[in-house]
Chain A
Amino acid sequence: MTLLGSLALWVAFLFGLWGALTGFLGGRRERGDLIASSRHAVYAMCGALFVAVVALEVALFRHDFNVEYVAAYTSRNMPVFYNWSALYAGQKGSLLFWAAVLALFGALAQALTARRHRVYLPYVGAITCVVAVFFVSVMLFGHANPFARLPYTPIDGNGLNPQLQNPGMVFHPPMLYLGYISITIPFAFAMAALLSKRLDADWLVAIRKWTLLSWLFLSIGICLGMWWAYVELGWGGYWAWDPVENASFLPWLTMTAFLHSVMVQEKRGMLKKWNLALIIGSWLLSIFGTFITRSGVISSVHSFTQSNVGYFFLVFLIVSAIVSFWVYATRLPLLQAEATLESMVSREASFLFNNLLLVGIAFSVLWGTLFPILSELVSGTKVTVGPPFFNQVNIPLGLGLLAVTGIGPLIAWRRSSGANLRRQFAVPAAAGGLTLLALLAAGMREFYPLVAIALGALVSATITQEFVRGVAARHRQYGEGWPLAFGRLIARNRRRYGGYIVHAGIVILFISFTGMAFKTETEATLRPGETATLKSPYGWTYSFTHQGVSQYAALNRQVTAATVAVARDGRRIGLMTTEKRQHVDAVGRPTFQPSTEVGIRSDLREDLYIVLAGVVDGTEQTVFRFTINPLVWWVWFGGLIVALGGLVVMWPGGGAPAVRREQAGYAVKLVAKDAG
């Protein structure tokens, strides 16, 4: 199988080169035969990489430990389930996974692109080929071939890191990768538009859905990553501003900015340069993220082993940045805006502020992530910044963004009149103000949570008002019943109302994040029968009574489990168990460090989160950390709503096709009439 795999890599490499060559030439000379050949090369490359993935999976499932990669990441006693995820558990396999998924997206782009956007395809194919060839050549020439064999055959493999033996890990990395990788397609379309000088509104339509798809995968991937960190790493939170988390957050921010500012270009023909720069920037950030996770230049809990693979990525990153911005610079004269900003009180202006804030957040996150390197370059001493820096900078900016989320949809395009503003803002402003007063009256004094919840109320009122008015209009106009009107309202305007659903999810996320400002924590060393107590921010008191420790062997691990009886204000609510797991190989020798299995009891108000820190040798005296994390359930729920909203926006068919700019004036009038 490894011979087949290596061969498939070489075949993919050659097809990729051919596809890049014929794509560029065919696009430039407009030669149909070359263009067709390039398309076939993309399909062939995709097929070859698929064969390589299957070959590696077969080796993994067959426990072919003569293959170095299989020996390094699997073992005989591992749950079968995780053999699949061993594919992307290590550097080499994940490179293969990257290349294969990219080729798949490239092939889908070739197959699914609507006829009127076909002019871009030769360049799109060429660019996907170039990127895929890069990944394949790292495997072939960077000592990262996942099919490399060992000079001997070990009896058993090392096994998968226990922290990756978690159901979340089966879904989180692929989702994140899908998001990361699919950014290449909008980037390829943007470059294709620049290279072919076809910079009318058409290319935007072609890439908007791809950007949305990529944004959706990335959002889901980030949420799953938060969930994994929360249940598996045991430090009690879900977001630590770790460089790798930041690396996934950066392109998400710039893509979010793009998805908003693209509307300004569609409706008003403005921001063309900015939008292209955002797409190119998002892609470069995704490569940058791949680079920092693989090079070890920035210390992170996530990083792969330091290896020279990082240099390949650095060179690739620099070269692609130079090439893409050079092409961009030569095409700048073609990117003149067709309109100017008419008023500060306009939808355009609010989108601009939204973009500034998103990019500002992205910049500060990038700066904070790179600060150890930058400070060492400048002053010779490494200075690091941690979560306090990111929170201090990003909480105010995030709240500004939340405010714009509430205000933007209320303001008309071009300009809004005073009467219009009063009519639009009365309810949301009242909702925000009243919420603030209610919270103050209830005794809440924490500044940021107050602002976040009040703004959350404002945004929710905005969204509700939009839905109510839309449904009411349908009810009046077409005589539809309320539920039908509601359903059709969303179905007929998926972009707009799907967008509002995403906003609703974001509000839920913001409010649930404030819960962490109220988390409480205690550590205690307990003998069986002893009790520790912890006060919840809701005012009641939890008591945790240690019930004793049990030890047993499971499939591939020795488990030390401690059970705790939990009572709220003296009323017993249940038992919770937390474990320490020592993974072992087939003959019982320990592998890896022990890992913690957190005990979590979640309800709508708060999570109880218990970590078994250690057991005093030979006794049942146990060290626990008890944490109460308010509102965590809502983080997962908010993430789900965001994903649902994204799906609504993306759902194919139905809905009006994107409003062409020629009609935009008319559309604006309709909206204005509807609103005024």
Chain B
Amino acid sequence: MKAGMKFAIGAVLIVGSVGYLMASGIKRTGQYFLTPSELSKKLAADPTFYDVGMKVGAYVVPGSVTREVATQTMRFQITDGSATYPVVFRGLAPDTFTDSVEVVVEGRLQKDGVIHATDVLAKCGSRYESVPKA
């Protein structure tokens, strides 16, 4: 067999494994990224859409945040204007998390209608830019 041919087989093997790793990686680790209204729509279309890993991007409803420092539990509501979901999160919130900030909540919506978050990212869309003064 010619060297070029052998190399082609090796190349196909590498490209194939890259492709396989990517495809399986997306299948295993991909998460829906939804807004609250998209989540409501999904729920309406598929009433069993509970306990699915997802990320929800929305704004924190101002004044809805309650924290219990001792148990590190935080409850708040997120909204995109048309749909609102309560969130419960046990863990350390990022420095940038406050009322009315844009957040990405990673977790699962349970039957109780609450998103049980495993992670909360405060998407300070302007990390390098300062917050405009009111």
Contact = CB atoms under 8 A, between A and B. Distances in A.
Contact of A382 (B25, B32, B91): B32
Interface in B3-40: 3-4, 6-7, 10-11, 14-15, 17-18, 21-22, 24-26, 28-34, 38
B55 to A, nearest CB: 6
Interface in A368-394: 368, 371-372, 375, 381-386, 388-389, 392-393
Given A356-B11, A367-B22, A621-B69, A389 B29 contact: yes
A305 interface: yes
B48 interface: no
Contacts of A346: 3
A300 B99 CA distance: 20
Interface in B70-115: 70-72, 91-92, 94-98, 104
A46 B6 CA distance: 51
A523 B130 contact: no
Contacts of A533: none
Interface in A273-309: 296, 299, 301-306
B125 interface: yes
Given A303-B125, A392-B29, A616-B69, A356 B98 contact: no
A284 to B, nearest CB: 20
A403 interface: no
Interface residues of B, number: 48
A385 B92 contact: no
Contact of B128 (A302, A306, A356, A623): A302
Interface stretch (A455-463, A547-555, A589-597, A638-646): A589-597
B7 to A, nearest CB: 6
A386 B104 CA distance: 13
Contacts of A393: 18, 21-22, 25
A446 interface: no
A341 interface: yes
Contacts of A396: 17, 21
A302 B127 contact: yes
B51 to A, nearest CB: 17
A90 B71 CA distance: 38
A523 B14 CA distance: 42
Given A393-B21, A396-B21, A161 B69 contact: no
Interface stretch (A96-104, A136-144, A194-202, A357-365): A357-365
Interface in A172-216: none
A381 B38 contact: yes
Nearest to B57: A299
A427 B43 CA distance: 61
A67 interface: no
B65 interface: no
Interface stretch (A2-10, A31-39, A607-615): A607-615
A360 B15 contact: yes
Q: Main SS of the interface on chain B?
A: mixed
Contact residues on A (Cβ < 8 Å of other chain), bracket: 35 or more
A159 interface: yes
Contacts of B130: 72-73, 158-161, 591-592
Of residues B28, B72, B127, which shows the largest number of chain A Cβ atoms within 10 Å of its Cβ?
B127
A389 B92 contact: no
A234 B95 contact: yes
Given A161-B128, A341-B7, A523-B92, A384 B70 contact: no
A629 B16 CA distance: 34
Given A383-B31, A393-B22, A397-B18, A614 B128 contact: no
B69 A595 contact: no
Contacts of B127: 161, 163, 301-303
A523 B38 contact: no
B95 A383 contact: no
A532 interface: no
Nearest to B8: A341
Nearest to B6: A344
Nearest to A303: B125
Nearest to A387: B29
Given A302-B127, A305-B125, A364-B18, A385 B25 contact: yes
A343 B96 CA distance: 57
A72 B129 contact: yes
B3 A89 contact: no
A523 B72 contact: yes
A525 B72 contact: yes
A592 B57 CA distance: 22
B34 A385 contact: no
Nearest to A585: B133
B92 A611 contact: yes
Contacts of B14: 353, 356-357, 360, 400
Nearest to A525: B70
B44 interface: no
Contact of A523 (B22, B30, B91, B98): B91
Nearest to A234: B95
A164 interface: yes
A603 interface: no
A386 B95 contact: no
Contact of A385 (B15, B30, B38, B124): B30
B128 A340 contact: no
Of residues A393, A396, A523, A616, which shows the largest number of chain B Cβ atoms within 10 Å of its Cβ?
A393
A352 interface: yes
A336 B30 CA distance: 42
A342 interface: yes
A382 B57 CA distance: 11
Contacts of B10: 344, 349, 353
Contacts of A400: 14
A508 to B, nearest CB: 25
A381 B125 CA distance: 21
Interface string A144-159: 0000000000000011
A90 B129 contact: yes
A621 B7 contact: no
A338 interface: no
A356 B15 contact: yes
Given A340-B3, A389-B25, A396-B21, 19 more contacts: A72-B129, A164-B128, A299-B57, A301-B127, A303-B125, A340-B4, A353-B10, A360-B14, A381-B38, A383-B30, A392-B25, A393-B21, A396-B17, A523-B91, A523-B92, A591-B131, A592-B130, A595-B95, A616-B70
6 contacts: A305-B125, A341-B3, A344-B3, A356-B14, A384-B55, A611-B92
Q: Top 7 closest A-B pairs, CB basis?
A: A382-B33, A158-B130, A360-B18, A388-B29, A305-B126, A613-B92, A616-B69
